[in-house]
Structure 1
Amino acid sequence: MLDLSPDMILLILVVVMALSFDFINGFHDTANAIATSVSTRALSPRTAIILASSFNLIGALTYTGVAKTIGGSITDPFKLENGLVVVLAALIAAILWNIITWYFGIPSSSSHAIIGGVAGAAIGAAGFDSINAAGFFDIVRALIISPVVAFVVGFIVIKIVSFIVANTAYHKTNRNFRFMQVLSASWQAFSHGANDAQKTMGVITLALLSGGFLVQEPGEFAIPLWVKFAAAIAMALGTAFGGWRIIKTLGGKIMKIKPISGFSADLSSALIITIFTALKLPVSTTHVITSSILGVGASQKVSAVKWGVAGRIVVTWVITLPITGLLAAACYVVLDVFL
């Protein structure tokens, strides 16, 4: 029988919880990549999920810059006491929030949830001095700016695309853009995996460093190979199970989506996510794709967008960071008593 130390048992629990969060993230955010292509019947639900899972996996194994930002910019893993408990509290808070918003079909942000969770748990453990203010606000700025940029880009892209095909027969336009949606959905799934799965990689590496299970020089933040593969596979498996409640919201409740508008929204959001990933900045794929859809809809006809549904989504975006932060701080206080 293995004689495991309390810290090792806690680390195993953290890794299991982190991969569970990653699985739920894929489950929760499947809609980001395939909602528009399913709603326009460019892809069947089964084909769309297989495509999204495959490209999520490939994307997750491609980059590590965002993981380093998540794990090293919010708080310093080399100075964090009870780091394993901090990470566990953050994960519990993020998972609870994801489950709550999934149940109500609200496309909230897993990115906001885990970032708010890490910050809140760190503050609960060591006060506000434990937060790297500059790094944290860089992340928050990226989370705020990216959906705004996605809205503007979506607005512009649909205008350009509509101008290009203005003299093309309607049925031919629909047929062509249904085919092109397969490509845009693939890119969207790849970019989703490249950005979102890295957040779990960063959290696990943060736990390894703060718990003394990974030896690196201060300032260094290398992601172990097994962490990359574990996070990528968990994300892909979660995507394979799908999140149909949220697909219904993104695919039809915000606006009626046609092949040309679905392609334009996917193209816009995939471009924005890819750019921010290259800059090593985490974004909310949920926010970006929703904003792209809103931008596309607003450019065609303001009344085409169901702004009431959009407003409910925006409110969820705004409250996610503070709620998960408070929830994580409370979880830390409780866990610290028993662990």
Structure 2
Amino acid sequence: MGKMALEYILIIFLIISVIISFGIGANDETMAPLYGSRILNIKQILILAAIFAIAGAVLLGEGVAKSVGDKILLLDYEAPGIDQNAVVMTILISTAIVLILSSAFGLPISSTHATIGGIIGLGLLLGGGNGVNWTTILEMSMWWLASPIVGYTVTYGVVKLLNKRKLKNLKGFKDFEKSENKFSYIILIIICITAFARAGNDSSNSVGIVVGVGGDIDILWLLIITGLGLASGIIVLGRIVIKNLGKMTELRPSTAFAVQVPTAAVMLIGTI
């Protein structure tokens, strides 16, 4: 294949990756508790979310991207009938289609599940049962199952402790207000950490397979472009998701803190 053809293929890869990352950013609800608890206005939230989306993708995205790209497919790209570029293109397009259709029908779906599902499907098609690293899939699945359980357990415990502390130490409305103001600063930091970790995790969905089988491509530039795509999605369409989810439950800074502590911990540990 000529150099010009490879450049065209790379451009197509990048365009599809940007579309996927834009869609992921548009559906990012990480900052919703800040809106629900009225700690920041929507403009401030979007700027903050965009900054941490770019930073998280660039600084944390490489490890998860390599896990998605290198450790799931077990295909021999030298074998006849298996084209490396076609593999990347198929997975990127299938992921984009699933995300677009689910958004169009208002169906909540994980971009990670869509990406991993596409990789597994192609692995089975081209390599049968031996085309997929089932050990890696099992490890990922166990984490997917464990994370909501861990999140629920930790959130429940944090809420119990906070309520106990309030009943014991707070005396009157002024003390309550002071306590909530302190939590405003704490929750702001925790949500920024969550957004940072989530961007690192989500960036793998748009560039992971390109990193794994896309040939000699500079991963840093891929992650920068992905981060910009995430940020664009957040700024252009993300306000809708953030506002809708922020209005679903009226949160105080202290209750938002209880929700975000386990979320930040699970996301950061899983990404690293």
- State TM-score, norm by structure 2: 0.85
Distance 2:128 2:153 in 1: 38
Contact 1:87–1:118 at 8 Å: present in 2 too? Answer: no
Give the residue type in structure 1 aligned to 2:84. G
Corresponding residue to 1:191 among 197, 208, 217: 197
Aligned to 1:327: none
Secondary structure in 2 aligned to 1:62?
helix
The more displaced of 227-236 and 63-72 is 227-236
**Number of residue pairs the alignment of both structures matches:** 262
Contact 2:70–2:213 at 8 Å: present in 1 too? Answer: no
Listed as ranges, the gaps of 5+ residues in structure 2 are none
Give the residue type in structure 2 aligned to 1:263. F
Secondary structure in 2 aligned to 1:76?
coil
Corresponding residue to 2:66 among 68, 71, 76: 68
Distance 1:52 1:23 in 2: 13
Corresponding residue to 2:186 among 180, 183, 199: 180
RMSD of equivalent CA atoms: 2.4
Aligned to 2:126: 125
Contact 1:184–1:267 at 8 Å: present in 2 too? Answer: yes
Distance 2:263 2:140 in 1: 18
Percent identical residues: 25
- Matching of residues 1-339 of structure 1 within 5 Å: 4-5=4-5, 7-29=6-28, 31=29, 33-63=30-60, 64-76=62-74, 79=77, 81-166=82-167, 167-168=169-170, 169-209=175-215, 213=216, 224-253=219-248, 255-278=249-272
Q: 1:227 to 1:77 in 2, by over 3 A?
A: farther
Cα deviation 1:125-177 (Å, max 9, x = unaligned): 33332111111222222222222211211112222233333333333333332
Distance 2:101 2:243 in 1: 17
Distance 1:58 1:275 in 2: 17
The more displaced of 225-234 and 97-106 is 97-106
Distance 1:108 1:82 in 2: 29
Give the residue type in structure 2 aligned to 1:27. A
Q: 1:104 to 1:256 in 2, by over 3 A?
A: farther
The Cα of 1:106 is off from its aligned counterpart by 4.3
The more displaced of 143-152 and 198-207 is 198-207
Distance 2:230 2:86 in 1: 23
Aligned to 1:319: none
Cα deviation 1:244-279 (Å, max 9, x = unaligned): 4433553343x443221112212220111111112x
Higher relative contact order (CA 8 A, sep 6+): 2
The more displaced of 64-73 and 10-19 is 10-19
Cα deviation 1:187-213 (Å, max 9, x = unaligned): 11111112211333322212423xxx4
Give the residue type in structure 1 aligned to 2:73. T
